[in-house]
Chains A and B, each alone.
Chain A
Amino acid sequence: METLAWLVLILPLAGSLISALGFRALPARAPAVIGTAAIAGAFACTIGVLVKLQDLDAEHRQVVFVAWDYAQTAGVDAKLSILIDPLSVFMMLVVTGVSTLIHLYSATYMKGDRGYARFFSYLNFFVFSMLVLVMAGNFFLLVVGWAFVGAASYLLISYWYRRTTATTAGLKAFVINVVGDVGLVLGTYFIFRHSGTLDFLGTFETAGSQPEGSLTAGCILLLVGAFAKSAQIPLHTWLPDAMEGPTPVSALIHAATMVTAGVYLIARMWPLFEQAPAAADVGAIAGCVTLLVAGTIGLVVTDLKRVIAYSTMSQIGYMIMAVSAGAYAAGLFHLMTHAFFKALLFMAAGSVIAAMAGEQSLDKMGGFRKAMPFTFGCFVIGGLALAGIPPFSGFFSKDEIITLVGERGGWHYALYTAAYVGSFLTAVYTWRMIFRAFWGKAVPEAEELEHGHLHHAEEHRNPATGELEDTDVGFPGPEHHIAERSAAMKVAMGLLAVGAIVGGLLQIPLGGTDVVDTFLEPTFEGSQYAHLHASDGFTTLSLIIGTVLAVGGIAVAYYIWVLKPGLSAQIQARFSGLHRLFANKWYFDELIELVIVRPFSWFGRFGQQTFERVVVDGTFVGGTTLVVRAGSAAVRALQSGLLRAYAALLVLGLVAVVFYFLLQS
């Protein structure tokens, strides 16, 4: 099993390096083939690891492999060690599986872009980093993977690097991620202080003996890291802007894998969080707040990808709430199903945007049903799964989360209620998006497509700001590819659609299957919530409420956006204050600008203009040179070249010597 495990890490890295170093020598489509093959190989190896893992008996299903020891300095054991246990294999399967399909999709989608090889190199590097993150066996490698993933995200968001909106967005994502990194490292320190080892298994064994205050502080700092990576309030402002990256990037990073790193972190650290219930509660509340806020914003945004982004934020909120409240398997199950249908939605959105020749605004879309049947089908499947209609996968996973959170009792009922409100909002905004894009009168691009001609933009412009662009390297390429015309895209989207439909079968409540639960049991053994099972009656009630809300949401959306077209404008006018609040994303960007950005830039300006100029240049540097110059000028004055001055000095010396001897005697 060890070789297979290391191969899982090495294959994406090798693919990345080959594409990066040899891109001039390789033929045109080679980077895509290399990239996809590398990830497919990693997926195959993961299946091998899975099989081998299940061969071991349940007590021994947490295996650590060490490659080498970096340092054995005073008390810090920094080893390159990976941990293979059910949780990490679960994450590896999701990451490599979905990545393979997304690589397949982007092989066609990114064709014609001048930076094709760079794209696949970055994408492989991202998969490698994510695998390092989920396979890490100690805090050291976890932080390394965390940082690499942030870097890969930055590289991919700013992929079209000549677009200022993209680079600004990349910087924003990176800076907020770094804040999270700091939280993660500080949290590690707090935990390491009392556990004495960086190794996960060792730390978990001593979790009970850690002082509670220090452990709570450490866990809250870990949460800071998790929130930054998973885009939870208050570190969420980067995710909508991250939609500047190409659509496959949004599908992979900002739906299926990177943003779930926070969920993985909390699930992995469950022994610590269970000893620090305050931190776990903070996590649950933050997850709940996020899912509500993101849901409300999703109702009013008009950019297609941003709707899906806010939906991601909201669903991750569900997952964070779940793993913070102890419903580990449920949260991770939702992670898996969400990866399927969210990636599917993003891919389908990419197809629609391609049909619109790069335009992303919902205001300009409409009536694509006849022109793009396959894409429409994918959107419908994804939308039904997201809204939570049985028997699609989203229904089972989301409702299990909400049920188990409610089962905790006490103040968790508030979370339970809020989660159902969020579920209703989810259905509404998802189907608002679908109805606006596919129903109604067909826009000119759709009509062109119905006649078999893909709309082609004469001038290429930035969809957000309208700036003029060209199609050279650093900007999107001139070609646009829709799913209907590409076999690779259809295969990828089709497989994900199948996953979205049947994924729910893995964990059917009320006496059905519980594959995920049993699979993950060895990891979560010993948890105080392992026995958290809702009663049958409560479960049935929740399932019914969930279905009703989902269907009701779709119905409301249908009513507002299909049956009565002018109604949405009226509602907007009536609740204009609320609408403004939602449309400005609850003013979080402005708040951060006011509280953090302004003081820092004032400080920087002060440093540069005043401190640097007056104190450093003027006093330290200038003072030193002044002293040296004055000293040397004084000495130089002695060398006047005047003969008589020298003679005078001689006589003066003579006088002084005679005087001295006079005094002596």
Chain B
Amino acid sequence: MAIGWYLAVSAIVFSIGAGGVLTRRNPLVTLLCLELMLNAANLALIAFSRMHGNGDGQVFAIIVMVVAACEVTVGLGVIVAMHRRGLIIDVDELRELHG
């Protein structure tokens, strides 16, 4: 398969993830959509790595996975802390940092 197809899949998944971030109200699902976007980027990296023929892209993808794992950890920790305090888990309700 030509590399372009993989990139197309990556672009589509990225856009779907972006749409999900903009649309969903549950912060957990928002984080999931964020994962989608990261994975799409990973796919693009691997595809380019295959295109050039060296492993740099793959290493980069691994590092991205590490970062995504950390981010999920902290994000879920925040959500758990919010739930502990009885705050409602809804990004539209949690808007006290406004002007």
Contacts and interface: CB of A to CB of B under 8 A. Distances in A.
Q: Do A and B interact?
A: yes
A636 B92 CA distance: 18
A647 B21 contact: yes
A609 B97 CA distance: 44
Given A642-B91, A642-B92, A647 B97 contact: no
Contacts of B84: none
A3 interface: no
Interface string B34-75: 000000000000000000000000000000000000000000
A647 B31 CA distance: 12
Majority DSSP secondary structure for residues of A touching B: helix
A638 B99 contact: yes
B98 interface: yes
Contact of B98 (A639, A647, A648, A651): A639
Interface string B78-98: 000000000000011011111
Nearest to B98: A641
A118 B23 CA distance: 85
Q: Which of B21, B27, B30, B94 counts the most A-chain CB atoms under 10 A from its CB?
A: B21
Interface string A157-201: 000000000000000000000000000000000000000000000
Given A651-B18, A651-B22, A644 B91 contact: yes
Contacts of A635: 99
A640 B98 contact: yes
A641 B97 contact: yes
Majority DSSP secondary structure for residues of B touching A: loop
Contacts of B92: 642, 644
A643 interface: yes
Interface in A620-648: 635-644, 647-648
A432 B95 CA distance: 95
A641 B96 contact: yes
Contacts of B30: 643-644
Interface string A516-532: 00000000000000000
Contacts of B98: 639-642
A642 B25 CA distance: 10
B13 to A, nearest CB: 15
Contact of A639 (B18, B21, B23, B99): B99
Interface in A211-232: none
B21 A644 contact: yes
Nearest to B25: A644
A141 B67 CA distance: 89
B39 to A, nearest CB: 17
Nearest to A652: B22
B95 A640 contact: yes
A641 B96 CA distance: 6
A640 B98 CA distance: 5
Nearest to B92: A642
A370 B27 CA distance: 113
A648 B94 CA distance: 17
A643 B91 contact: yes
Contacts of A641: 94-99
B44 to A, nearest CB: 14
A636 B99 CA distance: 5
Q: Which of A640, A643, A651 counts the most B-chain CB atoms under 10 A from its CB?
A: A643
Contacts of B96: 641
Contacts of B99: 635-641
Contacts of B95: 640-643
Given A639-B99, A641-B98, A648 B22 contact: yes
A406 to B, nearest CB: 91
Nearest to A638: B99
Contacts of A637: 99
Contacts of B91: 642-644
A643 B94 contact: yes
A644 B97 contact: no
Interface in A596-638: 635-638
A640 B92 CA distance: 10
Contacts of B21: 644, 647, 651
A651 B98 CA distance: 20
Contacts of B27: 643
Q: Which of B23, B91, B96 counts the most A-chain CB atoms under 10 A from its CB?
A: B91
Interface string B14-36: 00001001110001001000000
A176 to B, nearest CB: 61
Nearest to B90: A643
Nearest to B27: A643
B55 to A, nearest CB: 28
Contacts of A644: 21-23, 30, 91-92
A636 B91 CA distance: 19
A639 B95 CA distance: 10
A642 B23 CA distance: 12
A647 B33 CA distance: 12
A484 to B, nearest CB: 87
Nearest to A632: B99
A637 B98 CA distance: 9
Contacts of A639: 97-99
A648 B22 CA distance: 6
A636 to B, nearest CB: 4
Contacts of A642: 91-92, 95, 98
23 contacts: A635-B99, A638-B99, A639-B99, A640-B98, A640-B99, A641-B94, A641-B95, A641-B96, A641-B97, A641-B99, A642-B95, A642-B98, A643-B27, A643-B30, A643-B91, A643-B94, A644-B21, A644-B22, A644-B91, A644-B92, A648-B22, A651-B18, A651-B22
Given A637-B99, A644-B91, 5 more contacts: A639-B99, A641-B97, A641-B98, A642-B95, A644-B92
Interface of A: 635-644, 647-648, 651
CB-based closest 10 A-B pairs: A641-B98, A641-B95, A639-B99, A636-B99, A643-B91, A641-B97, A642-B95, A647-B21, A639-B98, A648-B22
